[in-house]
């Protein structure tokens, strides 16, 4: 099991709500001084267990619909469900894209129009790896709630 990153923090802010804080990322970066976020107002991403579960259910539903069209009518629903494979990595990638990368105007370290693209690429990769490890932990916690 991957160890949680030391820089990225997450906290429980409600029964099914988590907050991932990039606070410790926002100070050491020289170009970050131009960003909206810093120590007084750290960049955070809210993760809700219901949202994660809904995304998984949508994938499951979509796959079941496709399987029902392909499979023989004699195949039971339970057998179809066993064939469904949910790739949570795709869900995590979409959250990253929607909640982190989409805010690159505010997070200069992830904006290749403002900063050297090699630096942005490396910074983004570091942030993504830490985010991915952290959201996996949150996902496991969310699965316990179900």
| Alpha carbons 51 and 139: distance in angstroms, whole number | 11
Answer whether 7's CB lies under 8 Å from 130's CB. Answer: yes
Report the predicted TM-score, pTM, of the whole model to 2 decimal places: 0.76
Locus of tokens 């802010």? 13
Report pLDDT for 139: 93
Answer whether 115's CB lies under 8 Å from 80's CB. Answer: no
| Alpha carbons 19 and 44: distance in angstroms, whole number | 6
Look up residue 96 and give its two tokens.
Answer: 């990253």
| Alpha carbons 52 and 29: distance in angstroms, whole number | 31
Q: Which of 28-32, 72-76, 81-85 has the lowest mean pLDDT?
A: 28-32
Q: How distant, in Å, are the alpha carbons of 27, 54, 96, 132 from that of 88?
A: 31, 12, 12, 11
Report pLDDT for 23: 75
Q: Which residues pair with 106 in a beta bridge?
A: none
Q: Is 132 helix (H, G, I), strand (E, B) or coil?
A: helix
| Tens digit of each residue's pLDDT (9 = 90 or more) over 95-129 | 998 888 887 666 666 666 766 777 767 777 888 88
More confident residue, 75 or 135: 135
Domain boundaries in the chain? 9-51+87-145
- Percentage of residues of the chain with pLDDT beyond 70: 75
Report pLDDT for 39: 57
| Tens digit of each residue's pLDDT (9 = 90 or more) over 42-80 | 778 899 999 899 999 999 899 888 888 888 888 888 888
Look up residue 33 and give its two tokens.
Answer: 């001084």
């Amino acid at each position: 099991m991957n160890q949680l990153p030391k820089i990225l923090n997450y906290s429980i802010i409600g029964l099914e709500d988590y907050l991932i804080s990039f606070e410790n990322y926002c100070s050491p970066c020289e170009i970050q001084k131009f960003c909206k976020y810093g120590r007084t107002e750290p960049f955070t991403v809210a993760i809700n267990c219901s949202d994660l579960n809904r995304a998984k259910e949508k994938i499951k539903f979509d796959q079941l619909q496709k399987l029902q069209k392909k499979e023989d009518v004699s195949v039971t629903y339970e057998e179809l469900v066993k064939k469904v494979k949910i790739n949570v990595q795709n869900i995590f990638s979409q959250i990253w894209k929607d909640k982190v990368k989409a805010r690159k105007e505010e997070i200069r370290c992830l904006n290749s129009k403002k900063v050297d693209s090699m630096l942005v690429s490396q910074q983004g990769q570091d942030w993504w790896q830490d985010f991915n490890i952290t959201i996996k932990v949150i996902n496991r916690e969310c699965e316990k709630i179900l």
